[in-house]
Amino acid sequence: MAANCLPPAQVTESGRPVLLPDEIESYLLSSVDLECEELPNFPILKSGLLSLTTHRLLWLPESIAAAASPSAIPLAAITHIFSPKKSLRAMWSSPRVRFQVSVSSDGRVIGLGSSSGAGSRSVVVTLVVRGKGDIDAFLAKFWESWRGRAWESQSAVSSSGSGPVSNSQPGPSSSGLYSSEGTVRMVGVSGILRKEQEMWESTDKSLQDAFQDLNALMSKAKEMVMLAEKMRQKLLSGSNSQTGASNDEEMGSKQEMQDWMLSIGIISPVTKESAGALYHQQLARQLADFVKIPLEKSGGMINLIDIYCLFNRARGTELISPEDLLQACSLWEKFDVPVMLRKFDSGVRVIQNKSHSDEEVFARIKTLVTKPDALRIGISASDAAMTLGIAPAMAKEHLLTAESRGILCRDVSPDGFRFYINLFYEFDPNDVYLVKDYGVYATWIKAVSAS
C-alpha cells in the first residue's frame, strides 16, 4: 500500500490537493507514472496527476474510482536530480525524470521534519510522463523548487523579522561629500553642485528604503495569508469536534471570522503558467472548493456574477476572465463535485448546491403567498427575498419558475411584478360557479371580503 512507503496526501472534495500553510503549487503534469524498482513495497501509481509544489511532489489519481490513493514525496527527501539523457531512443519514448530519494531502513520515504536515522539509504524513483506537457519547463521548476528549500525558510523569516535594524539610526553621511566628522559647507558654485548632489543621493536613498518597505510588506502579507489559512483550518476542525459544547453566539462569531479570513485570499491560485493544459480542469476544482462558504451564506444559490467578483478578489493579482469562469463551471459535469451550474429560462446563470431542492423553495413560496395580506395584494420579489434569505434577483427567478409550474399567477403593473396564488386549480371544471367553503379559494374569499 502507499501508506507503507510514501506519505499520504490529502485532497478536497473536488480532488484538489490540500496544501501546507506555506506551500505554493508550481507546476502540473497529467498522465504521470511513478516507478521504483528498488522498493518492493512501492505503490502502483499509474496515469495520475502530478503536482509540483515548493515542498512536495504530489501524485493524485485522475479519477475517484482509481485504486491508488493520493501520495506525496517530500522534496526534503530528494538527494539528487539526474539530468535527462539526450538520445534517439528518448525522442520516441515517454519522457522520464529520475531522482534519488532517501528512505529509512524499513523502506519508507523520509518525510518533512524527520531525520534520516541509522540504516537509511537512497533509491532511484523514475517519473514517466505519458501525457502532453513541457518536460523541460517542469524540470526547470523541479530544480528551482528543490534548490529553493522553501520548507526551511519559515524559521528564517520569523527570525529575520525580529532582528535588529542597523540602518535606522541617523548619522553623518560618509558618501564623499561630507566626512565622518562633518565639514563646513562651501558656498558659491561648488556649494550649489554639492547641494544638488546631496539632494539626488537623498532621493535615491528614499527610493531604496521605499522598495525595502514594499518587499517587507509583501512578505508580511504572505505571512498573514498563511496565518489566516491556519486559523481557518483550526476553526473548521474545532467546529466539527465541539459542535455540542458551543452556543449559537460562538458559532456565529466563528463563521464570521471564517468568512473574513476567506476574503483575504487564496494562497496558491491555479494559473495558466503552473497548470498549462490542465488550467481549466484545476480551476474548476479550485472554484468548487471556493464556493462552499458563499453558497452557505446565500441560501444554496448565488449569481454567477457575484462569484466572479468574489473569486477574483480572493485570487489577488491572478485575475481570470469571464470566459475562463464559465468554462470552469461547465466542467463540473465531468467531476464529482457538490455544486453545479444552472441556467434559468430567463437566461440568468447561477451556481447552486446539488442538494438544493426547488420543491422546498416552492413550498416556502406557497406558504408566503397564501397569507391573508398576500392573498389580497400579492407578493413582490423583495417579499420573497426576505422569506427565502436570498437576493431579490434570485427570488424573482424562483417566482417566475413557480409561475411556469402553475403555482403562481403574475400581474404586471406600473409598480412592477406582483405574484398571486393560482386559484384556477380550485375551480371545478364541471361547475365553475360553485363557491367552495374550504381550501385556498375560501381563504381568498374571506381575505377579500374583510378588506
Q: Rounded CA gap, 145 and 179, in Å?
A: 46
Same domain, 94 and 139: yes
Same domain, 289 and 308: yes
The answer to whether the pTM exceeds 0.75 is no
At 44, the amino acid letter reads I
Highest mean pLDDT among 235-249, 254-268, 373-387: 373-387
Inside any domain, residue 205:
no
What 57-61 contacts at long range (C-beta under 8 Å, 24+ apart), as own/partner pairs, is 57/127, 58/9, 58/17, 59/9, 59/32, 59/34, 60/9, 60/11, 60/15, 60/17
Inside any domain, residue 386:
yes
Q: Quick: pLDDT tens for 430-441.
A: 766 666 666 676
At 428, the amino acid letter reads D
For residues 102-126, average pLDDT: 77
Question: Whole-angstrom distance between the N-terminal and C-terminal Cα of the chain?
Answer: 75
Instruction: Quote the percentage of the chain above a pLDDT of 90.
Output: 17
Q: What is the mean pLDDT of the chain?
A: 77
Which spans in 37-134 are helix H?
A: 88-92
Q: Rounded CA gap, 356 and 312, in Å?
A: 25
CB within 8 Å of 255: residues ≥ 6 apart: none
Which is more confident, 56 or 5?
56
pLDDT higher than 90, residue 357: no
- Give me the residue label for grid cell 456565529: 252
Inside any domain, residue 36:
yes
Q: Quick: pLDDT tens for 143-152.
A: 999 998 888 8
Inside any domain, residue 172:
no
Same domain, 73 and 130: yes
Which residues form the domain of 413?
358-450
Same domain, 371 and 291: no
Q: Quick: pLDDT tens for 151-169.
A: 887 545 545 554 444 343 3
Domain count, the chain: 3
- Domain termination residue (choose one: 306, 329, 353): 353
Centre a 10 Å sphere on the Cβ of residue 382 and count the other Cβ atoms it contains.
12
At residue 340, the pLDDT reads 92
- Domain termination residue (choose one: 324, 353, 382): 353
Inside any domain, residue 259:
no
Q: Rounded CA gap, 264 and 268, in Å?
A: 12
pLDDT higher than 90, residue 392: no
Q: Quick: pLDDT tens for 316-329.
A: 778 899 999 999 99
For residues 277-281, average pLDDT: 89
At residue 81, the pLDDT reads 92
* CATH number of residue 339's parent domain: 1.10.10.10
